A and B are shown apart, each in its own frame.
Chain A
Amino acid sequence: MIPGPFSYHRPASVADAVKLLSKLGDEARPLAGGHSLVPMMKLRLATPEHLVDLHGIAGLKGIRRDGNKIVIGAMTTQHELLASDVIKTSLPILHETALLIADPQVRYRGTLGGNVANGDPGNDMPALMLVLGAVYRLEGPGGGRDIAASEFYQGAYFTALEPGEILTSISIPAVAAAHGYAYEKLKRKVGDYATAAAAVVLTMAGGKVATCAIGLTNLHETPLLATDAANAVIGTSLDAATLKKAAAAAVAIMSPAADARGPVEYRKHVGGIMVTRALQRAAARAS
């Protein structure tokens, strides 16, 4: 399988990348890790005339603390996330989730920016970004702007990115040190996208849930924040009746596509189970 012909561009700065993408218009695509786009090009499901490779831009990689936030460059790979002590200690849910993405080879190339900006409902990181209240930094022909992850996803492969804009970094506010977290992902095999997955970040106080956020992956055309489900567990000790109520509230907002991973009813059913398991595991981890 050989992709259709294209022209290759390797700009050395964000400004040059934006200029190129603006000038070349709809026929150009930015190239990050390439592990979503290149397979699509080989299948000729994507036939861009120009690829603007972002690997030549210094400064799009790296993980740093900025006051109360952790800022991650868009071209930071999943492998680099896994190797980062800052991530392991401060945002362990990213570590847990990155390990569930694809396989080792793909994680050496696949980037956090590509994962969150592509708009693929099967990607795992967007639900975490909703749960963690992440903000995306976009640079475009009209300058830079910040947008909340919760405002970014509009539909399958449709995002708030305007023509010529690229994602340059992701900033995530610090999470309470004593928080509990879990990403529960049901998949058919290593490397697969989720049949259903749920991300939970919560804090406990006196044996009861004090704060909670729940995110859902591949259960709608966009990642979802299950707000009613999260509200249902706050103030409780996650007893069986509460877990059942929370799972039902989450299932109520799911509208997955039927595909090889199962019919709609099945995916919603296991989606509820992922929510239950993630809540239980997160609570056990909270101190």
Chain B
Amino acid sequence: MAKTHVTMKVNGAEVEGLVEPRTLLVHFIRENLLLTGTHIGCETTHCGACTIDIDGMSVKSCTMFAVQAQGSDITTIEGVANADGSLSALQEGFRMMHGLQCGFCTPGMILRAQRLLKENPSPSEEEIRMGISGNFCRCTGYQNIVKAIQYAAAKINGVQFQEAAE
């Protein structure tokens, strides 16, 4: 099958590649760009491990073709740290609140949470839980992930993070 030339911006850098139309965006990101922080979990659009940010949307990159991302602006987990290399508020939140155990779901969780906080800077616990309902974690039971996102929201809003009483 003839290959198509695609260009897009990934984590601020212009990238290009040759892809078959059937190449999934997640495969292009991992195998052509060698950005392996974006994970492949279920491959059936359920688990959210492959979530990236594309043109202001959280998208499961296993359910979009690379040719469809022509000209788009993408952020993956490799692009979320602060410009000086320090951890972003969300990365710090996941570290401080122990928001991960095995870490497999974390890149997708952080990309999804980042978009959620852009759209809703002060989400309730319910809104956080519904906001990450397309991301599966099989380790934590979500409690610490919710806390990590609350920590990040507080930090972004410049207020003291108060853990809710258990």
Contact across chains for B1 and A5 when beta carbons are under 8 A apart: yes
Count of A-B contacts judged by CB separation below 8 Å: 81
The answer to the question of B104 belonging to the interface, with a C-beta cut-off of 8 Å to chain A, is: no
> Shortest beta-carbon distance, B89 to chain A, in Å?
20
Q: Is A2 an interface residue (CB 8 A)?
A: yes
**Residues of B in contact with A, size category:** 20 to 34
A108 and B22 within 8 A (CB) = no
Closest Cβ of chain B to A10, distance in Å, is 8
A103→B4 CA distance, assembly (Å): 31
Instruction: Tell me if B147 counts as interface (CB < 8 A to partner A).
Output: no
Asked if A7 is at the interface of the complex by the 8 Å CB criterion, the answer is yes
Q: B79 contacts the other chain (Cβ, under 8 Å)?
A: no
Given contacts A104-B112, A108-B58, A109-B57, contact A35 B45 (CB under 8 A): yes
Interface residues on A, range: 20 to 34
Chain B residues with CB under 8 Å of A34's CB are 63-65, 68
Contact in complex: A191, B24 (CB < 8 Å) = no
Q: Does A125 contact B (CB under 8 A)?
A: no
CB distance from A109 to the nearest CB of B (A): 6
C-beta contact mask, A29-45 vs B, less than 8 Å → 1, else 0? 00000110011011100
Q: Which residues of A contact B67 (CB under 8 A)?
A: 8
* Whole-angstrom CA separation of A53 from B116 in the bound complex: 28
Residues on B with beta carbons closer than 8 Å to the beta carbon of A89: none
Query: A21 interface residue, CB < 8 Å from B?
Result: no
Quick one: which of A67-116 are within 8 Å of B by CB?
Answer: 79, 99, 102-106, 108-109
Q: Are A104 and B131 in contact (CB under 8 A)?
A: yes
C-alpha gap A149/B48 in the complex (Å): 33
Which residue in chain A gives the minimum CB-CB distance to B51?
Answer: A105
B157, chain A: closest CB distance, angstroms: 21
CA separation between A21 and B134, bound complex, in Å? 33
A141 close to chain B: CB less than 8 A:
no
Q: Is the CB of B57 within 8 A of A79?
A: yes
Task: Please tell me if the beta carbons of B21 and A7 are within 8 angstroms of each other in the complex.
Answer: yes
CB atoms of B48 and A109 under 8 A apart = no
User: Does B162 lie at the interface of the complex (its beta carbon under 8 Å from any beta carbon of A)?
Assistant: no
The answer to whether B58 and A35 touch across the interface, beta carbons within 8 angstroms, is no
State whether B134 touches A6 (Cβ < 8 A). no
Query: Chain A's nearest CB lies how many Å from the CB of B79?
Result: 18
A214 to chain B, nearest CB (A): 27
**Which residues does chain B contribute within 8 Å of A5, judged by CB atoms?**
1, 20-22
Can you report 14 residue pairs joining A to B where beta carbons are below 8 Å apart? A1-B43, A34-B64, A34-B68, A35-B63, A42-B43, A42-B44, A102-B134, A103-B48, A103-B134, A104-B112, A104-B132, A106-B45, A109-B57, A190-B130
Sort A-B residue pairs by CB-CB distance and give the 6 closest, nearest first: A103-B134, A8-B21, A108-B57, A190-B133, A5-B1, A105-B134
Which B residues lie at the A interface, using CB under 8 A?
1, 4, 20-22, 24, 27, 43-46, 48, 51, 57-60, 62-65, 67-68, 112, 116, 130-134
Give A contacts to B, CB under 8 Å.
1-8, 34-35, 38-39, 41-43, 51, 53, 55, 79, 99, 102-106, 108-109, 190-191
**Beyond known contacts A2-B24, A103-B133, A104-B130: 8 more, CB 8 A cutoff:** A2-B27, A5-B1, A104-B112, A104-B133, A105-B51, A105-B58, A105-B60, A106-B63
